[in-house]
Structure 1
């Protein structure tokens, strides 16, 4: 295969990977883990127990040690967000933001340093808090 065709195929695969890992995957996972599993667990168990069980399942689903830890911790945070706001969309948004940051760090090694990581985490946290406040305001009759 000519080099230009290999390059085109490679770029197409990278774009498809990015779309799946950063958008489609997180949206589907949130629908399943927060929308179906956590919602079902909340009908039978306490909030704390439901969040922990769904986060454990979310971590296990990622199939390796580091991703288990990240998945479990993210699952706890997203479970809390879901219970607090009842918004699957905020969970999807947060998960998409988390995965996108991971892909950025994977593809752009120059920014993979502690300061930039902390700054991205702070910005992500601010966006999530802002989203929670907006949803709370909306639920209480505000804009």
Structure 2
């Protein structure tokens, strides 16, 4: 989607990097447009997200160097990564090690996380590293 925002296709451009702030903003708008209405029990909640080393939750956690984060934290780290090339992103912890995504996926993953957090007005995400092929986990109290 980000490569398309930039006016290209994956057949001609394999990575969106470097990404401008205008391109990131447009990606956020398009992602939010695709999200369905937030269930009332989730809106404003705190969630625990699980994933392996290539999950967007892990990328955010490593970029911020902490396990808990809010939307404004993701927005700030996303801003720090704009304008960086693939080579520059490869020096970051979230692009190193086994099973890591290519640097071209970093900004789209953080943008997707930010879009969901803002759309759902999530208070906080707590990342818990896990392995396996499960899509995620939501824990909460006060279920109706």
Tell me whether the two structures share a fold, i.e. TM-score over 0.5: no
Give the TM-score range, shorter chain: under 0.3
TM, length-normalised to structure 2 = 0.27
TM, length-normalised to structure 1 = 0.27
Q: Which has the larger radius of gyration?
A: 1
